[in-house]
Structure 1
Amino acid sequence: MSLTGTPFFLTSILLLIVAVVVPFTLWTRIAGPPLLRGLARLLMLLFAQVTAITLVFVMVNNANNLYDTWGDLLGTDSHVAAAKDLGPDGMGGQQIKNEPKQLQRFRPADDPRMGPGVRMTDLQGRISGVMGEVYVWLPPQYADPAYRHKRFPVVELLPGYPGSSKAWFGSLHVGEQLGPLMLSGAVKPFILVAPRTNILTGADTGCVNLPGKVNADSWLTVDVRKMITDNFRAGTKPDSWALAGYSAGAHCAAKLALAHPDRYRAAVALSGYNDPALEPDSLAGKDPKLRLTSNPLHILQAANAAGRPPRTALYVSGAAGDGYQAGIGLRQLAKRPTSVTVQLIPANAGGHTTAVWRQQVPEVFRWLGGRIRA
């Protein structure tokens, strides 16, 4: 039974009802010695507590898309086939232009809560050695004959940690919000791509390459990117690509965009952070060298010192103490052509939750429309 499916949710409700009804029915009817009666009543109480906790977990998980599968929750799934040392560029000496096309079969998304039009595929990363599902949503204009020769810009959507690749569609309702706005012309049409980021058991990859462990950077910025351009009418230049993330995904979005201006032109970071060590389970935060080199502040400082400020536009939003200061730090370092827009979220807006980020979706995509193009 699926962890996120309706059957499991309904089963949890049914079990809780049973757990409440059984004590009322049998509490005074239990026969036998006092010790046995006491033990039976204790088990009924424990069963009621377990079912209540389970139902709350299912509701929270369904609302926030924290864990996709039982394997994600229990840490039994493996999504890394290999983790070679791919070098500073994350390519391992290979050239994307020389790689054969990776044509994929797509099917409708396996969760109806993601809304209409979302399709998915299982991708095996040729460069990164990572395997995982990728969800794709095409704008309304994609099937319009008037756009048949047009390539579309792309935004990669990154969740927090723990987080499911379904989250932007299932919790933030990005497709349902943007579809009407794209049809009306209020928002530019984008292809939306949500790749798996929960790759390792009990660890946040920090979207870095760590030889022998995982090549999360190359998975997102090389393999997923190439698969999309191989299978869809997507722009291939950096001007056509952006990233958007919240929480740990916000850190990744800013880090990847600044580190790869040859692949991305813009990034949106909602309630994120610069120092990866602020996520206790971050692999990057636990490695002294990676903690420094994957910090967006360090990436920007190093690029400025080398006389090559990245042509990258960042939109950073957050409340005081929850992403806002991270944006201010980046804005203070930004030199043309780098630009950083910082938005303060009121403290009473709702905290570090998907409800807050969901409300920002139209605004950030209008901002992206002015920064990336086909």
Structure 2
Amino acid sequence: MSLTGTPFFLTSIALLIVAVVLPLGLWGRIAGPRLVRTLARLLMLLFAQVTAITVVFVLVNNANNLYDTWGDLLGTDSHVQAAQDLGPDGMGGRKIKDEPKQIQHFRPADDPRMGTGVRMTDLQGRISGVSGEVYVWLPPQYDDPAYRHTKFPVVELLPGYPGSAKAWFGSLHAGEQLRPLMQRGEIKPFILVSARTNLLTGADTGCVNIPGKVNADSWLTVDVRKMVIDNFRAGDKPDSWALAGYSAGAHCAAKLALSHPDRYRAAVAMSGYNDPALEPDSLAGKDPQLRVRSNPMHILQTANAAGRPPRTALYVSGAAGDGYQAGIGLRQLAKRPTTVTVQQISANAGGHTTAVWRNQVPEIFRWLGRQVRVTP
């Protein structure tokens, strides 16, 4: 039975009802020695507590898209087949232009809560050694004959940790919010892509490459990016690509965009952080060298010192103590052509929640529309 499916949710509700009714009907009718009666009553109370906790977990998990499968929750799924040392550029000496096309079969998304138009595929990363599901949403203009020769800009969507690739479509309703705005011409048409980021048991990869462990950076910035270009009318230049993330995904979006200005032009970071150690389960945060190298401020400082500030536009939003200061720090370091826009969110807006990020979706895509371009 699927962890996120309706059958499991209804089953958990039914069990909770049983757990409540059972003591009411049997509490005074249990026969036998005192020890047996006491044990039976304790088991009924324990059953009631477990079912109540289960229902709460299911509600929270479904609302926030934290875990996709039982394997994600229990840590039994493996999404890393290999983790070779791919070098500073994450390519392992290979060139994208020399790699053969990777044509994928797509099917409708398996979760109706993601809304209409979302399709999915199972991708085997040729460079990264990572495998996982990738969700793609096409703008309403994609099948319009007037746009048949158009290459569309792409935004890679990154969830928090723990987090599901479904979250932007399920919890944040990105597709449902953007479709009418794109149809009316209020927002530029984008291809939206969300790939699995929960790759290792009990660990946030921090979107870094760690030889022998995981190549999460190359999975997102090489394999997923190339697959989208191979299968859809997507622009293949940096001007056509951006990232957007919230919480741990915000850290990843800023880090990846600043690290790879040859692949991305812009990034949105909502309620994120610069120091990966602020996420206790971050692999990057636990390694002293990786902690420094994967900090967006360090990446920007290093590029500035080398006389090559990246042509990257960042949009950072957050409340005081929840992403705002991270944006201010980056803005203070930014040198042209790097630009950093910081938006402070009210402390009363709702905290570190999907409701806060969901409300920002139209605004951040209006901003993204000014940073990337549609290719005729």
Please classify the TM superposition score into its range, dividing by the shorter chain length.
Answer: over 0.9
Q: 1:180-222, CA deviations, whole angstroms, 9 ceiling, x for partnerless residues?
A: 0000001000000000000001100000000000000000000
Give distance in 2, aligned partners of 1:9 and 1:359.
27
Shift of 1:42: 0.5
What does residue range 112-151 of structure 1 map to in structure 2 within 5 Å? 112-151=112-151
Q: 1:281-335, CA deviations, whole angstroms, 9 ceiling, x for partnerless residues?
A: 0000001110000000000000000000000000000000000000000000000
- 1:349 maps to 2:349: yes
Structure 2 equivalent of residue 271 of structure 1: 271
Give distance in 1, aligned partners of 2:97 and 2:275.
34
Structure 1 equivalent of residue 4 of structure 2: 4
Give distance in 1, aligned partners of 2:224 and 2:192.
12
- 1:260 maps to 2:264: no
What does residue range 48-197 of structure 1 map to in structure 2 within 5 Å? 48-197=48-197
Which amino acid in 2 is paired with 1:151?
Answer: K
Shift of 1:178: 0.1
Q: 1:13-41, CA deviations, whole angstroms, 9 ceiling, x for partnerless residues?
A: 00000000000010111000111001000
Structure 2 equivalent of residue 331 of structure 1: 331
Structure 2 equivalent of residue 34 of structure 1: 34
Give distance in 2, aligned partners of 1:357 and 1:312.
22
- 1:16 maps to 2:16: yes
- Percent of aligned pairs with the same amino acid: 86
Shift of 1:98: 0.2
- SS state of the match for residue 2, structure 2? coil
Which amino acid in 2 is paired with 1:338?
Answer: T
Structure 1 equivalent of residue 301 of structure 2: 301
Which amino acid in 1 is paired with 2:209?
Answer: N
Shift of 1:74: 0.1
Shift of 1:116: 0.2
Shift of 1:179: 0.2
Give distance in 2, aligned partners of 1:9 and 1:182.
34
- SS state of the match for residue 368, structure 1? helix
Which amino acid in 2 is paired with 1:98?
Answer: D
Give distance in 2, aligned partners of 1:29 and 1:271.
54
Which amino acid in 2 is paired with 1:299?
Answer: I
Number of corresponding residues: 374
**RMSD across aligned C-alpha pairs, in angstroms?**
0.3
Shift of 1:233: 0.1
Shift of 1:247: 0.1
Q: Which runs of 5+ in 1 are unaligned?
A: none
Which amino acid in 2 is paired with 1:223?
Answer: D
- SS state of the match for residue 340, structure 1? strand
Give distance in 2, aligned partners of 1:236 and 1:183.
24
- SS state of the match for residue 11, structure 1? helix
Shift of 1:277: 0.3
Shift of 1:130: 0.1
Structure 2 equivalent of residue 230 of structure 1: 230
- SS state of the match for residue 140, structure 1? coil
Give distance in 1, aligned partners of 2:146 and 2:23.
65
Give distance in 1, aligned partners of 2:127 and 2:158.
20
Give distance in 1, aligned partners of 2:286 and 2:28.
55
Which amino acid in 2 is paired with 1:311?
Answer: R
Q: Which runs of 5+ in 2 are unaligned?
A: none
Which amino acid in 1 is paired with 2:305?
Answer: A
Give distance in 2, aligned partners of 1:67 and 1:155.
22
Shift of 1:366: 0.2
Shift of 1:229: 0.2
Q: 1:52-104, CA deviations, whole angstroms, 9 ceiling, x for partnerless residues?
A: 00000000000000000000000000000000000000000000000000000
